[in-house]
Amino acid sequence: MAALFSFSLGVGTRNSNDEWLEVYYPAPTANLDEATSKAFLAAVETAGIPYRGGNQAIELDNTLLNQLADTLVTKGQADQAGIAAQLVASKRPTVITILATDEEPSSVPEAYLKLHLLSHRLVKPHNVNLIGIFACLPNIAWTSEGPIDLEELPQRQLRARTEGRWLNVKCVDKFPVMTDYVVPSGVRIAHTARVRLGAYVGEGTTVMHEGFINFNAGTAGTSMIEGRVSAGVFIGEGSDLGGGCSTMGTLSGGGNVVISVGKNCLIGANAGIGIALGDRCTVEAGLYITAGTKLTLLDDSNQPVEQLKARDLSSMSDLLFRRNSLTGAVECKTNQSAVELNSVLHSNN
């Protein structure tokens, strides 16, 4: 038997048409070994849950939950058994989601499970299949009374007013706030609405009020985020994104190009990048570098070496990108090893 990609129990919300809006998974699992996979599937079968193989999300009633809790204990899965027992008392619909393989998500429960896996740091950005996730996720009103189907929102607002309550619509979006589902250890997030579920926020990361981290993006570890980490962008350990800076993600103009930032980099305030940075790179405040930006490469004596486009320096380390205050030209100052690397690139043109 092949090992499962993920196995998780969750509780969520359905609309009046019995369609899933969202699912919360308190303790998702990922990349299970064969022994654990076998134990989970044996418990599912013994409990009478109609799992047919492949990727499935199956709603559970109290009878199935009780049976599953009992059988998980016998299979040595006490933690998941405890969750199943707690879900018996749920007033919301409960679900078991089994992903045999990492295929494109085809339902709301599958999509939410994959977003949870990222925010629980069980998988890293670009290491989980999220193709088609937008089509799976409904646009929802996220309110002080939880997620509400947009078509049902006016009636819910009227009901709240007539009952003397205030229904606060916090946002309308396909993706919820990460901290309503997952609060990773060792992080500070000044404005929680600016980090979406599906963000991978490494331990030691601080996200200031103007910082933003999209889904399938994030930080490897200790970092200061005061700028925008767009979808698909991953920030290396020890890097600092200054206030108002931006990284061009795969959803915002980068196409299929993966933008990343290496270790111990600094992107200055109101700067931006459309190329990947290696380690120990600095981008001057206010300077936005796209792949096609023309720049002059300088040697250690600040003498021009050649002119090229920024994409030719993508992923290289120990670079300083700046704008010449006299001419306005974009320059890149590098050490001798970086010049040699650039020479290799140049010879391949």
CATH number of residue 205's parent domain: 2.160.10.10
Boundary residue ending a domain (152, 173, 194): 173
127 and 53 in one domain? yes
Residue 258: pLDDT band with limits 50, 70, 90: confident
Residue 88 is encoded by which pair of tokens? 């018996």
Judge whether 327 lies within some domain.
yes
Q: In 3D, which of 290, 289, 283 has the Cα closest to residue 320? A: 283
48 and 187 in one domain? no
E strands, 192-339, are: 199-201, 206-207, 212-213, 217-219, 224-225, 228-229, 234-235, 240-241, 246-247, 260-261, 266-267, 272-273, 282-283, 288-289, 294-298, 304-309, 319-323, 330-334
pLDDT in tens, 15-25: 999 999 999 99
pLDDT in tens, 33-55: 999 999 999 999 999 999 999 99
Judge whether 1 lies within some domain.
no
Mean pLDDT of all residues in 297-309: 90
Q: Which of 152, 226, 331, 340 is catalytic?
A: 226
286 and 338 in one domain? yes
242 and 332 in one domain? yes
Residue 60: pLDDT band with limits 50, 70, 90: very high
119 and 62 in one domain? yes
Judge whether 265 lies within some domain.
yes
pLDDT of residue 335: 45
What total number of domains does the chain contain? 3
Mean pLDDT of all residues in 125-148: 97
- Tell whether the model's pLDDT for residue 349 goes beyond 70: no
State pTM to two decimals: 0.92
Judge whether 297 lies within some domain.
yes
Q: In 3D, which of 198, 143, 150, 196 has the Cα closest to residue 171? A: 143
182 and 95 in one domain? no
Boundary residue ending a domain (153, 173, 193): 173
199 and 120 in one domain? no
244 and 151 in one domain? no
204 and 287 in one domain? yes
Boundary residue ending a domain (137, 154, 186): 137
Give yes or no: 34 in active site.
no
Burial class (CB in 10 A: 0-12, 13-18, 19+), 68: buried
- Tell whether the model's pLDDT for residue 348 goes beyond 70: no
207 and 233 in one domain? yes
Judge whether 235 lies within some domain.
yes
CA angle 250–260–171, rounded 5-degree value = 50
Judge whether 256 lies within some domain.
yes
- Domain encompassing residue 15: 6-137
264: alpha, beta or left? (left if phi > 0; alpha if psi -120 to 50): left
Residue with more model confidence, 334 or 278 = 278
pLDDT in tens, 82-134: 999 999 999 999 999 999 999 999 999 999 999 999 999 999 999 999 999 99
150 and 98 in one domain? no
pLDDT in tens, 162-208: 999 999 999 999 999 999 999 999 999 999 999 999 999 999 999 99
Judge whether 32 lies within some domain.
yes
185 and 159 in one domain? no
